[in-house]
Amino acid sequence: MATQEQIDSFHQFATEQIKNGGRGKSVDELYDQWRLENLSSEELEENVAAIQGAIDDMKNGDCGRDVDEVIAEVRSKYELPASE
């Protein structure tokens, strides 16, 4: 989709959302929703493959990492203060 077509599509989408009860959404929220609903076929294929890979990992016993461990690692890496 060409740039002008994307702008026109987003404008139409955002206008419809606001008319239909989406007044409380920010422009960023509207854009994120529009992007999710307008993925290219390549983006959709990549997302499906990533999700399938995660499902396969879980089936093979990989349950990921504890969220507190990941947050602590990110805070340490970027020298962020501990949450209160």
Q: At 81, give phi and psi (nearest 5°).
A: -70, 155
pLDDT tens for 40-75 read 999 999 999 999 999 999 999 998 899 999 999 999
0.85 surpassed by pTM? no
Q: Residue 79: left if φ>0, alpha if ψ -120 to 50, beta else—which one?
A: left
What pLDDT, on a 0 to 100 scale, did the predictor assign at position 84? 61
